[in-house]
Every structure is written in structure tokens, then in C-alpha cells.
């Protein structure tokens, strides 16, 4: 695409904007009309549905039995909708969990694992069963300790998702042991396992766990029982973990379970809506409000207004689209910008401002689009006359013609005090074409919303065939 073509596209887009802006009140009117139609279409049945769903009083002609049945159906619908909303919340939570949980991102066929084993020795053998309490305290602390907050901040993993990666369990020894330093006592094993996507992550988590055990040791010594805890071994590796695979599978299949529940409830809601003679959408809208006295008068209005807003936008869009099509395919030009965009070979001599009655808004648009120079009528014509005089001063004979109304052309040049020969359009009087060669130059006058662009194109070919100089074009 060359530069000239690009310039034409820009001019057309700018001019198209101003053309639509001139009709902004029609755009708004089209939107209002369609909005009103959509509002009425939605409001009338919604209002009828609202009356049916209002169980505060009986309907006209309704028996006590019918009223009781209607109350039961509305209450049943309310329960069903509450259940559907609850399941939808669960579905959304499940979607978030599957997308964000580290456990769900682990490749169960190549799972990273870091393990650590500790021995816990209780020095007082008389405290029967206290070793189990101690070991379980360590295990519980590792699953829900405050250290998880710092770990979550460092790794960027939510605490809930971190807890899924950590397992801790305590196993008490089957019998007491005798230690040379502390005498007899009981010994148990604290086993810790961390899983993840990489051993870098599992080792990082395990480091936090070891630090937490070290910091909690003195506290548990004082609060539960005196004891010693010693790290026996730690290792990291990759493995196939069917347990993780099963957890992932169960999380995915839960979607199907929840969706089937919603389908079942939807079917029940269809049955209730059918029994009540209302639409399912009305049931949802009505039962979403809490204030029953307000619901009856507002539900229908709220729903209808929402669709009316959509109707307004659609109506305005349809009108604009239709006007754009008209602008692009119309054989007549409504602005000087379109004329010179379609015929870039034309030299612009001047543009006469519109003479019809215009509002200040339309006048402002005409100035911005170049169809009005913003000057007074007399001054504007004086400048145009001077420009024509300068362009034709070295020529003896100049003819004025064009596809504009011949009376309008003559009136314009008389008002400017220019004594030039004005001839009708070639197409209204073909004999004018024979005498054109007698002149030194031609000025074409084209009229907005009157001249046919197809005739202008043909007119330019005919002028070119005469060999007479085309001085330029005046737009009226």
C-alpha cells in the first residue's frame, strides 16, 4: 500500500466519524427505540412471573389448595437454587485448587521426596504414655505450626497447599530402653516426609522443618516432658507415587460429581418452573432478592432494565452500521472530504459553507470536518472569489460547469461578482461539451448530497479528453 492510499484511508475514517457525529441524535433515538421494545418484551412476562412467585398472598381466583401447592413449589425452588449456588461455589473452589495446588502439579511418576527420621528419648520411664503425647505434639506442630507462614512467604505457596506436601508421624517403641547416662526410658521414632515437583523444593521445606524442630525442642521439654530428639538420617530422591496419583485423580473426578449434582438440581428446577408456569430465569432472579416486599415490584424491572441497556447498545450499533454502509456505498457525497478522497486528482479551489439552518453543534462539526471555514458568509465568498481570480487571471476565457444544480452554480458566481460563463452539466445538455474546447480552463462545481459520484468520474474523463486545463473544483 502506497502513501497516497494510506492517506485516503485516514481521511475516510476521520470523515466517517464526523458523518456519524452529525447523526448522533438519530443514533441515540435508535438505541432508545430498541431499548424500549426489549424492555416491554422482557418486563411484561417478568411482571407476571413475579406475581406468581410472590407467596405473601393468594392470586385472584386461587383456591386454598392451589395456594398451598404454589407455596410449596416456591420454597422447593428456593432450596434447589441454594443447593445449586453452593455446588457452584464448590466447583469454583475446585477449579482454583486444581490450577494452583502444588500437589496437583506433581508428576506422580517422577515425584520428588525428602525424608527425615528422628529418635525421641524420654528420660523418665515413670511417665507412662507421655512419649506418645510428645511425639504426636511434634507431628502436629509440623503440620500446622507458625513456621508455615514464613515458609509460605518465602516460597510463594499458600499454607494450605504447603500442608499437603508434609507428612509427619510418630511411632513409639514397643518396650523401654536402658541408657547408661539417663537410666531407663522410652524411645520412639518421628518420621517426616516432604513431597514436591523437585528435590530443590522438598529440601527447602525440610530445612524449615528441621529449624522448627530445633526451636520447639526446648519448649516441649518444659511443657510436656524432658526428652532428647536426635536426627538419625535424611535423604532425597525421586519415585513413583501411586498415592499422589490417586489424590489427583479424585480431585479431577470431583468435577464430574459436582456437575452431575447440578444437572440433577437443574432438572428439579425445570419441573418446579413448569409446575408454577414461570421461566427458570425468573425463578433465579426472583429468589436472588432477600426483601420479599421489594422483590415483587423490582425483580421484573431489574431484569428488564438489564436487557433494555443491551437493547440500547444494539440499536445504536445497528444504526451506526447501517449508516456506515450507506456512507461507503452511496453514489453521492455528503462531505467535501469524501469527494476529494474519492477523486484525489481534483484540485480544491474552495468549499462553500452549507446554507441550510444548522445548530451550533452541527456548525462546529462542519468546521472540524472542513465543510465550513468558520468565517462569515461574505468573507468566505470574498476569499473564494479572490482565489478563483488568482487562478484564472492569465486565462482569457474560463467556463464553469459541473454536476451541481446549474441555478445554484450561477447564483454562487453572481454573488461573488465573478463574470464567468456558466454552462449546464454535460449530462443535462450534451451540446455544452462541443464548445468546451473554446475555453482556456474549466472550473467544476460539485454539490453535496446532490452530485452523483459516478457522473463526476465520467465528467473527469470527458474533460480530460478535451485537453482543456482543469483548474479545480468548488464544492457547494
pLDDT digits (tens, 9 = 90+) for 146-155: 889 999 999 8
Alpha-carbon torsion, ordered 230, 232, 237, 240, to 10 deg:
-100
Say how far apart CA 454 and CA 475 lie, in whole Å: 16
What pLDDT digit, counting tens, does each position of 403-419 carry?
999 899 999 998 888 88
Residue 294 is predicted with a pLDDT of 47
Confidence of residue 233 (pLDDT cuts 50, 70, 90): very high
**What is the distance of C-alpha 248 from the center of its chain?**
32
Measure the CA–CA gap between 213 and 209, rounded to whole angstroms: 6
pLDDT band at 53 (very low <50, low <70, confident <90, very high): confident
Three-state SS at 444: strand
Q: What are 433-445's pLDDT values in tens digits? A: 888 999 999 999 9
CA distances from 116 to 199, 232, 233, 418 (A): 14, 8, 6, 106
Residue predicted with more confidence, 368 or 384: 384
For the residues 426-439, what does the mean pLDDT come to?
89
Q: In which residue are the cell numbers 494510506 written?
A: 6
Residue 302 in contact with residue 39, Cβ under 8 Å? no
Place of cell 516426609: 193
CATH of 110-239 among 3.40.50, 1.10.1740, 3.30.70, 1.10.1220: 3.30.70
What's the pLDDT band for 124 if we cut at 50, 70, 90? low
Could you write out the DSSP letters of every residue in 126-180? TSTTHHHHHHHHHHHHHHH-THHHHHHHHHT--HHHHHTTEEEEEEE-SS-EEET
pLDDT at 455 exceeding the cut of 60: yes
- Taking the model in full, what pTM does it have? 0.53
> What's residue 399's pLDDT?
93
State the pLDDT at residue 330.
Answer: 83
First to last CA, the chain: 32
Contact 317, 34 (CB under 8 A): no
Our measurement of the distance from residue 243's CA atom to the centroid of its chain's CA atoms, rounded to an integer in Å, reads 41
The neighbour count for residue 355, using CB atoms within 10 Å, is: 9
Q: How high is the pLDDT of residue 247?
A: 94
State CA 26 to chain mean position distance: 27
Kindly state the DSSP code that residue 332 receives in the 8-state scheme: B
Is 293's pLDDT higher than 50?
A: no
Q: What is the mean pLDDT of residues 199-220?
A: 92
The C-alpha atoms of residue 350 and residue 444 are separated, in whole angstroms, by 11
Confidence tier at 240 by pLDDT (50, 70, 90): very high
Residue 368 has pLDDT above 50, yes or no: yes
Distance CA 255, CA 249 (A): 10
Q: What is the pLDDT of residue 175?
A: 52
Q: What per-residue confidence (pLDDT) applies to 199?
A: 96
Which of helix, strand or coil describes residue 418? coil
The CATH topology of domain 336-475 is Rossmann fold (3.40.50)
pLDDT surpassing 70 at residue 177: no
Whether 185 has a pLDDT exceeding 70, the answer reads no
Q: How far apart are CA 456 and CA 446, in angstroms?
A: 8
Contact in structure between 412 and 388 (CB atoms under 8 Å): no
Q: Which residues of 185-216 are buried (b: 16+ CB within 10 A; e: fewer)?
A: bbbbebebbbbbbebebbebbbebbeebbeeb
Residue 49 has pLDDT above 80, yes or no: no
**Region label for 107, one of left (φ > 0), alpha (ψ between -120 and 50) or beta (otherwise):** beta
What residues contact 387, with CB distance under 8 A and at least 6 apart?
349, 350
Average pLDDT, the chain: 85
Q: What pLDDT does residue 221 have?
A: 87
Torsions phi, psi for 373 (to 5 deg): -85, 0
The pLDDT of residue 296: 52
Summarize pLDDT for 158-169 with one digit per residue, the tens. 999 999 999 999
Domain boundaries, the chain: 24-84+268-326, 110-239, 336-475
Name the residue among 194, 231, 225, 206 with its Cα closest to residue 132.
225
Instruction: Supply the pLDDT for residue 454.
Output: 92
CB 248 within 8 A of CB 103: yes
The answer to whether 402 and 458 are in contact (CB under 8 A) is: no
Neighbours of 457 (CB within 10 A): 11
51 φ, ψ to 5°?
A: -65, -40
The region of weakest confidence among 8-12, 135-139, 469-473 is 8-12
Tens of pLDDT along 59-98? 888 888 999 999 999 999 989 999 999 999 999 999 999 9
Amino acid at each position: 500500500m502506497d502513501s497516497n492510499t494510506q492517506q485516503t484511508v485516514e481521511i475516510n475514517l476521520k470523515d466517517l466519524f464526523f458523518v456519524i457525529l452529525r447523526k448522533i441524535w438519530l443514533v441515540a433515538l435508535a438505541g432508545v427505540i430498541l431499548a424500549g421494545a426489549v424492555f416491554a418484551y422482557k418486563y411484561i412476562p417478568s411482571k407476571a412471573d413475579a406475581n406468581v412467585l410472590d407467596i405473601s398472598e393468594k392470586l385472584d381466583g386461587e383456591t386454598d389448595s392451589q395456594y398451598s401447592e404454589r407455596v410449596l413449589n416456591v420454597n422447593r425452588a428456593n432450596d434447589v437454587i441454594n443447593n445449586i449456588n453452593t455446588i457452584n461455589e464448590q466447583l469454583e473452589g475446585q477449579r482454583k485448587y486444581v490450577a494452583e495446588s502444588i500437589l496437583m502439579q506433581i508428576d506422580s511418576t517422577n515425584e520428588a521426596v525428602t525424608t527425615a527420621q528422628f529418635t525421641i528419648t524420654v528420660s523418665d520411664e515413670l511417665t507412662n504414655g507421655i512419649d506418645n503425647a510428645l511425639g504426636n505434639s511434634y507431628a502436629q506442630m509440623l503440620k500446622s505450626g507458625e513456621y508455615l507462614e514464613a515458609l509460605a512467604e518465602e516460597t510463594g505457596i499458600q499454607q494450605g497447599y504447603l500442608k499437603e506436601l508434609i507428612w509427619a508421624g510418630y511411632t513409639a517403641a514397643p518396650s523401654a530402653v536402658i541408657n547408661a547416662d539417663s537410666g531407663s526410658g522410652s524411645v520412639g521414632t518421628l518420621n517426616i516426609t516432604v513431597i514436591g515437583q523437585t528435590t530443590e523444593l522438598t529440601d527447602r521445606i525440610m530445612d524449615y522443618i528441621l529449624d522448627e524442630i530445633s526451636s520447639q525442642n526446648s519448649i516441649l521439654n518444659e511443657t510436656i516432658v524432658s526428652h532428647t530428639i536426635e536426627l538419625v538420617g535424611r535423604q532425597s530422591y525421586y519415585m513413583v507415587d501411586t498415592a499422589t496419583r490417586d489424590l489427583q485423580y479424585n480431585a479431577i473426578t470431583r468435577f464430574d460429581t459436582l456437575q452431575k449434582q447440578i444437572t440433577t438440581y437443574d432438572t428439579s428446577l425445570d419441573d418446579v418452573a413448569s409446575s408454577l408456569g414461570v421461566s427458570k430465569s425468573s425463578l433465579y432472579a426472583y429468589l436472588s432478592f432477600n426483601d420479599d416486599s421489594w422483590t415483587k415490584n423490582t425483580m421484573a424491572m431489574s431484569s428488564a432494565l438489564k436487557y433494555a441497556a443491551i437493547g440500547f447498545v444494539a440499536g445504536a450499533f445497528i444504526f451506526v452500521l447501517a449508516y456506515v454502509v450507506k456512507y461507503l456505498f452511496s453514489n453521492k457525497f455528503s462531505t467535501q472530504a469524501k469527494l476529494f478522497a474519492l477523486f484525489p486528482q481534483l484540485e480544491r479551489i474552495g468549499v462553500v459553507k452549507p446554507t441550510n439552518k444548522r445548530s451550533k453543534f452541527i456548525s462546529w462539526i462542519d468546521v472540524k470536518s472542513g465543510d465550513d471555514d468558520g468565517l462569515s458568509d461574505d468573507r468566505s465568498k470574498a476569499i473564494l472569489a479572490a482565489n478563483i481570480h488568482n487562478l484564472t487571471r492569465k486565462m482569457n476565457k474560463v467556463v464553469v460547469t459541473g454536476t451541481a444544480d446549474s441555478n445554484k452554480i450561477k447564483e454562487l458566481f453572481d454573488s461573488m461578482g465573478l463574470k464567468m460563463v456558466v454552462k449546464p452539466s454535460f449530462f443535462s445538455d450534451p451540446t455544452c461539451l462541443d464548445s468546451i474546447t473554446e475555453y482556456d480552463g474549466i472550473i467544476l462545481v460539485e454539490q453535496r448530497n446532490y452530485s452523483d459520484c459516478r457522473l463526476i468520474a465520467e465528467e473527469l474523463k470527458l474533460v480530460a479528453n478535451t485537453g482543456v486545463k482543469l483548474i479545480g473544483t468548488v464544492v457547494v
